Amino acid sequence: MTAPEPTPAGFFMHVAFDLCSRPCCLPVVRATVGQLAAMVGWEAAESRAITLAVDEALANVIRHAYHGRADERIELHCHAVEGELQFRIRDTGDPPDPASICAREVGCDKIGGLGTHIIRDVMDTVSYHSCDEGNWFLAVKRLRRQA
Amino acid sequence: MTISVRDSGVARVVDVEGEVDLGTSPNLRRALFEALGEMPRLALNLRSLEYIDSSGIATLIEVLKHAQGLRKDFVLFGLSPAVQEVFRLTHVNRIFRIVDTEEQAVASS
């Protein structure tokens, strides 16, 4: 399968998920995010990496914000515009601990702590905010076209 | 995710198909810990694995450490390009013994 043509000027698509905090929801999100990334113009390997990063962000919400509770709520907003994908995730669980983000040494055999490294490596910008309405994860990935 | 177990020479071979993520990695962990029990080597066939996330990688690290504690070999083989990308992103390539084929994985080292 060849890579899709990059999306034209003026293109946009917004996909929103309102899902419970069960891991069984993740494959559905991955399928959509992968197709969005391919549509914006990323090749297969990059689309898989973007999909993995979003999956890791959602898994972190389930594990660390909600501590595995299955009946909580997660919002995911995926906004695709020309050459760019933006992801916003909201939860109402425990706020992320800044000291634990990318705290794990890379290349070691420590168990766990890899997800935030994946997110930082794959995305161009990543930020975490907590406010009255909950915790927001924001990430942006921009397409770099070959000259 | 589908897991099957068979023996090949001195190795127990575990074939895993499908996707390993937050929901399925506990099943993989359970299967690999059980498979470590009898044979001196555990070989994990990842040829039909379509997706693995960091919880799956963490499971493999946990199994590796347990195998080392039991003085057993834990070998991975048949990594698809998609799985290799995750290993590269997580910088765990050097932690594991990774070979291309099942013949290499079950051969005496």
**Is pLDDT at A71 greater than 60 in this prediction?**
yes
Residue A64 lies in a domain: yes
CB contact under 8 A, A26 and B23: yes
Per-residue confidence at A145, pLDDT binned at 50, 70, 90? low
Residue A69 lies in a domain: yes
Instruction: List per-residue pLDDT tens for chain B, 109 residues long.
Output: 999 999 998 899 999 999 999 999 999 999 999 999 889 999 999 999 999 999 999 999 999 999 999 999 999 999 999 999 999 999 999 999 999 999 999 996 6
The pLDDT assigned to A111 comes to 80
Residue A46 lies in a domain: yes
Residue A140 CB contacts under 8 Å (≥ 6 apart), including other chains: A84, A85, A86, A87, A123, A124, A125
Summarised one tens digit per residue, pLDDT across range A9-67 is: 888 999 999 999 999 999 999 999 999 999 999 999 999 999 999 999 999 999 999 99
Strand partners, B76: B44, B98
**Is pLDDT at A3 greater than 60 in this prediction?**
no
**Is pLDDT at A2 greater than 60 in this prediction?**
no
Task: List the domain range (segments joined by +) for residue B23.
Answer: 2-106
The alpha-carbon radius of gyration of chain B (Å, integer) is 12
Question: The domain spanning residue A64 has which CATH number?
Answer: 3.30.565.10
Higher pLDDT: A131 or A145? It is A131
Q: Does residue B89 sit at the A interface (CB-CB below 8 Å)?
A: yes
Calculate how close chain B gets to A14, using CA atoms only, in Å: 25
Task: List the domain range (segments joined by +) for residue A101.
Answer: 18-142
Residue A98 lies in a domain: yes
Summarised one tens digit per residue, pLDDT across range A77-100 is: 999 998 999 999 999 999 998 888
**Closest CB to B82 among A48, A107, A122:** A48
Question: The domain spanning residue B44 has which CATH number?
Answer: 3.30.750.24
Q: What would the two tokens of residue A16 be?
A: 């929103």
Residue A13 lies in a domain: no
SS3 A81: strand
Which residue, B88, B60, B54, is CA-closest to A115? B54
**Is pLDDT at A146 greater than 80 in this prediction?**
no
Q: Does residue A84 sit at the B interface (CB-CB below 8 Å)?
A: no
Q: Which residue has the tokens 């099943």?
A: B27
Higher pLDDT: A8 or A74? It is A74
**pTM (predicted TM-score):** 0.93
Residue A12 lies in a domain: no
Residue A95 lies in a domain: yes
Residue A63 CB contacts under 8 Å (≥ 6 apart), including other chains: B22
Number of structural domains in chain B: 1
Number of structural domains in chain A: 1
**Closest CB to B21 among A23, A106, A111:** A23
Interface predicted TM-score of the whole assembly (ipTM), two decimals:
0.93
Residue A2 lies in a domain: no
Q: Which residue has the tokens 């290993």?
A: B87
